[in-house]
Chain A
């Protein structure tokens, strides 16, 4: 029973962290060595959308490197010299490329703690079970 619960918990956590509620997709396409194209698509229709606020920030310091309103002409930009992240505001939701490392990290920690909890429980309960039976 406890083993089943443990595996159920893994499934639950995998679901929790893989869940996305976004309606738009941000694509950053490399055009050549110097240029990238920023493309925002509506998830359902795959139609490109424009006139959204875009910020290109330094991934390390968060400093704003470039800021503009997305349009057909401004879709193509020079690659910034610093390591960068592209942020687009659609409605009141901020869209950016998410790093899946953190999801895996949190999932691992939760599963690890749960595993240890069950082991501890079994150790604790064995002692008291014997004592109570006697």
Chain B
């Protein structure tokens, strides 16, 4: 199909571009695979979300709403209520720029969340998007996604053109190559979704300044400021009204909204001009039969008169802007905001296969370089850095879980300490990787350390929250139980993997590979 020379160039380009983006893309994919479970991690790290499931629970805060609004002097112009969901079992009540109040959905009791923060989830997300490197981080991640698009295309072309050869010459392929190719081919559809959306979010949105300046005769550089009033137009606050009128109970209005918009899964409730004569209530969410197009960016809604429950307006998907629908689909494919555990597990497995394929791809190049004496210094350096990135990602994530409950929430610098220690651990592991000759030992140390961190994080969580894995099981708090269980299982798997690794494991990557001493 392709000439020999072209194939040679294509292989070269595939290798060079692959090497250029593999470090960033591995980090992004590794932490991205964990972000599939971020809603559950989020619950694990916030003690106020450890809420027992009660039977026949119905969302009802009729007797509490007024008390909360008065007590915290919430801005009556627009009060936002988030009902419990699989992402957060608490009820949240807030208004713009004020403290958010969280309630236990079973008892409607206020929860003390003053010192709580979701440091693990936020930090993992930051690393995934490259936000920990401001200005250029997200752009770099977007750039590596774009490069991966090229790698997918060139990979497919190389696979097709190699197929002919394989028929002529049935020689066994090397292990790394075989699995890099096979796993790479399996994850192509999954990878395409995430690289296209990732490139869009990371690169296009970050380089939009040029287009904004061009469109506004150099007056405005922020694209969001230009498109927000059109695409993300928020409902304006209602006219001020001084006449107090008791609005209907929220539960009645909620029921009415469900009756009038059966296909709507309510995710958010906004009350405008609370308990005033012209009060309105907006129920927004996604369509049960079209989650992708009515995702976070393009929610549909129904507006009721809060006083008499009369339907004032309804937005249908067809009425929404085409660009909003496209954006919604893009964001849905990348973030899966409304998908529950099934799709997340499937995507996580595909994410793991992608990571293995990336590592094998790297090993292919590294193995070629092993016999080149001129590259000894550089190739060893890159090998050790790559080894640290691959293994330290596990160890450092384990460390994040471990330190989250080890450091008290009241300690104000907790967030910074966790990040600081995360980076320090990474550099200590890099130091060890440079120092140690035998690769097998580096792998073992990393796996043992990760195993210890994962195991103890489940128990430190138990000590601090007084909810050990057996308590969450007995109380039916599924999310906490499963997160603890996965932490312990990961720990056991990592421990036995470390134990199984022989001293000769990948010995050709040792510094003294050519020596018999």
Q: List residues 398-438 of chain B with CB under 8 A from any CB of chain A.
A: 410, 412-413, 416-417, 419-421, 423-424, 427-428, 430-431, 434-435, 437
A123 to B90, CA, bound (A): 56
Q: List residues 78-102 of chain A with CB under 8 A from any CB of chain B.
A: 85, 87, 89-94, 96, 98-99, 102
Contact B134–A15 (Cβ < 8 Å): yes
For A87, A120, A128, the residue with the greatest tally of chain B CB atoms inside 10 Å of its CB is A128
Q: List residues 376-407 of chain B with CB under 8 A from any CB of chain A.
A: 376-378, 380-381, 384
Q: Is B323 an interface residue (CB 8 A)?
A: no
**Which residues of B are found within 8 Å of A15, using beta-carbon distances?**
132-135, 137
Interface size on A, residues (CB 8 A): 52
Q: 1/0 contact trace for B74-92 toward A, CB 8 Å?
A: 1100000000000000001
A24 to B114, CA, bound (A): 17
Say which residue of A93, A113, A133 sits within 8 Å of B117 (CB atoms): A93
A99 to B412, CA, bound (A): 10
**Which residues of A are found within 8 Å of B9, using beta-carbon distances?**
none
Contact B373–A90 (Cβ < 8 Å): no
Say which residue of A1, A71, A113 sits within 8 Å of B431 (CB atoms): A113
Say which residue of B376, B410, B413 sits within 8 Å of A132 (CB atoms): B376
Q: Is B57 an interface residue (CB 8 A)?
A: no
Interface residues on B, range: 35 or more
Q: Is A117 an interface residue (CB 8 A)?
A: yes
Q: Is A60 an interface residue (CB 8 A)?
A: no
A124 to B435, CA, bound (A): 7
Say which residue of A19, A52, A131 sits within 8 Å of B99 (CB atoms): A52
Contact B114–A55 (Cβ < 8 Å): yes
Q: Is A106 an interface residue (CB 8 A)?
A: yes
Say which residue of B99, B384, B420, B515 sits within 8 Å of A121 (CB atoms): B384
A99 to B115, CA, bound (A): 17
Contact A19–B134 (Cβ < 8 Å): yes
Contact A132–B514 (Cβ < 8 Å): yes
Q: 1/0 contact trace for B124-143 toward A, CB 8 Å?
A: 00000001111101000000
Q: List residues 95-125 of chain A with CB under 8 A from any CB of chain B.
A: 96, 98-99, 102-103, 105-106, 109-110, 113-114, 116-118, 120-121, 124-125
Q: Jot down 7 A-B pairs with beta carbons below 8 A, ordered by A.
A: A17-B416, A69-B73, A85-B412, A89-B114, A98-B416, A106-B416, A131-B514
17 extra interface residue pairs, beta carbon distance < 8 Å, beyond A16-B423, A92-B99, A117-B435: A15-B133, A16-B419, A51-B73, A69-B73, A90-B99, A92-B100, A92-B116, A93-B117, A94-B115, A103-B416, A106-B423, A109-B420, A110-B420, A110-B423, A113-B427, A113-B430, A114-B430
Residues of chain A touching chain B, judged by Cβ–Cβ distance below 8 Å, are 1-2, 12-13, 15-19, 21, 24, 42, 49-53, 55, 62, 69, 71, 85, 87, 89-94, 96, 98-99, 102-103, 105-106, 109-110, 113-114, 116-118, 120-121, 124-125, 128-129, 131-133
Residues of chain B touching chain A, judged by Cβ–Cβ distance below 8 Å, are 72-75, 92, 94-95, 97-100, 102, 113-117, 131-135, 137, 373, 376-378, 380-381, 384, 410, 412-413, 416-417, 419-421, 423-424, 427-428, 430-431, 434-435, 437, 511-515, 517
